[in-house]
């Protein structure tokens, strides 16, 4: 998972020593005011951690801007220094944010690491804590292929057939949040009850999102959507929506490769068939094939929604996901 970044990580690690004066602790440090430090790969997990920790912990996210692509992000020496000082690390995993694995290895940190994909029902081996009780709605969120092979995706390894965008699965995120509360309670026993209470508040918000998805499923379940990338598929599957996208199309777009001409023709046929109710695009990426299907969708009168991979400014994870569900509901109810 770290093959692309290891040589760079070694160089960055040397820079970290210069920045830190060789003082970075391998097991994490507290801030000057005694707070634990949580480091998250993206602001998705940073926001979730902040919801659990409140003002008791300092939370820092490596990627916070929609202009940054976690798939291809290359960490700086300062990022590596931040990780070296972490008390708790949260990553997505599954090859999505491989730069975190390189930094974890490069620093030799002994801080606990929470890897979100391991809590997914669809993770190979079903290794996630509590994930086994997930219903089968996520089956449509995972591309149909052998889930045991790795392949390179724009320079990083990910699990073939596994949709790593698990933050769009509220059920998985509930388990991630629960583990964040548990780990913070282990690190800071005096405030364990506060972390647990904050988790329960967050979990109630997740319940609200899942209720909205259940209501949407009752109203529009079975309708077809087309996605340029598999980013939102956990959410659409939970809403009972059918993914009509050719797997080869979304896979090529996600990997930054050219869509095969026959696949593009098939995508156009599907979009002009009159069966697709909404097209969902990744607002953080684009390309000729994406532009083509957007133009075709608009020409066919199909609404186009943009979903992001990061929490937008002014939102929290909970308000962001509820807004995505509301956008789907509003569009599909027309």
User: 98-107 vs 77-84: helix axis angle to the nearest 10?
Assistant: 60
Domains and CATH numbers, the chain: 6-205 (3.40.50.1980), 210-332 (3.40.50.1980)
Nearest Cα neighbor of 246 from 122, 163, 143 is 143
Per residue of the chain (334 residues), give pLDDT as tens.
223 233 444 444 444 444 444 334 445 556 557 899 999 999 999 999 999 999 999 999 999 988 788 888 889 999 999 999 999 999 999 999 999 999 999 999 999 999 999 999 999 865 444 454 444 444 566 654 333 344 444 444 567 789 999 999 999 999 999 999 999 999 999 999 999 999 999 999 999 999 999 999 999 999 999 999 999 999 999 999 999 999 999 999 988 899 999 999 999 999 999 999 999 999 888 889 999 999 999 999 999 999 999 999 999 999 999 999 999 999 998 8
Query: Quick check: helix, strand or coil at residue 232?
Result: coil
d(C-alpha 295, C-alpha 301), whole Å: 10
| Rg, Å, the chain Cα set | 20
Report d(CA 138, CA 126) in Å as an integer.
Answer: 13
Confidence (pTM): 0.85
Task: Provide the β-strand partners of residue 36.
Answer: 57
> Token digits for 130?
């509590």
Cα separation of 272 and 300, whole Å?
Answer: 6
Cα first-last separation, the chain: 44
Quick one: pLDDT at residue 28?
A: 55
């Amino acid at each position: 998972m770290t093959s692309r970044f290891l040589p760079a990580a070694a160089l960055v690690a040397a820079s970290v020593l210069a920045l830190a004066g060789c003082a970075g602790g391998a097991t994490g440090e507290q801030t000057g005011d005694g707070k634990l430090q949580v480091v998250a790969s993206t602001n998705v997990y940073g926001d979730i951690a902040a919801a659990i920790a409140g003002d008791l912990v300092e939370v820092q996210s490596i990627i916070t801007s929609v202009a940054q692509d976690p798939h291809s992000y290359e960490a700086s020496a300062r990022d590596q220094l931040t990780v070296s000082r972490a008390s708790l690390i949260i990553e997505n995993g599954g090859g999505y944010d491989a730069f975190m694995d390189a930094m974890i290895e490069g620093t030799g940190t002994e801080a606990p690491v929470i890897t979100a994909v391991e809590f997914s029902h669809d993770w190979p081996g079903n290794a996630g804590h509590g994930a086994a009780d997930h219903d089968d709605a996520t089956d449509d969120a995972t591309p149909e292929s052998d889930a045991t092979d790795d392949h390179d995706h724009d320079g990083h390894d990910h699990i073939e057939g596994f949709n790593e965008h698990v933050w769009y699965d509220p059920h998985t995120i509930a388990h991630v949040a629960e583990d964040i509360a548990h780990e913070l309670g282990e690190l800071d026993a005096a405030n364990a009850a506060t972390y647990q209470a904050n988790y329960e508040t967050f979990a109630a918000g997740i319940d609200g999102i899942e209720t909205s998805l259940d209501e949407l499923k009752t109203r529009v379940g079975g309708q077809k959507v087309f996605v340029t990338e598999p980013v939102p598929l956990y959410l659409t599957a939970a809403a009972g929506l059918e993914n009509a996208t050719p797997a080869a199309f979304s896979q090529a777009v996600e990997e930054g490769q050219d869509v095969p001409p026959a696949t593009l023709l098939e995508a156009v046929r599907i979009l002009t068939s009159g069966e697709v109710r909404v097209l969902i695009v990744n607002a953080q990426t684009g390309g000729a094939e994406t532009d083509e299907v957007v133009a075709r969708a608009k020409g066919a009168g199909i609404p186009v929604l943009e979903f992001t991979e990061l929490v937008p400014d002014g939102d929290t994870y909970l308000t962001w996901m509820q807004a995505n569900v509301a956008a789907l509901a509003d569009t599909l109810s027309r």
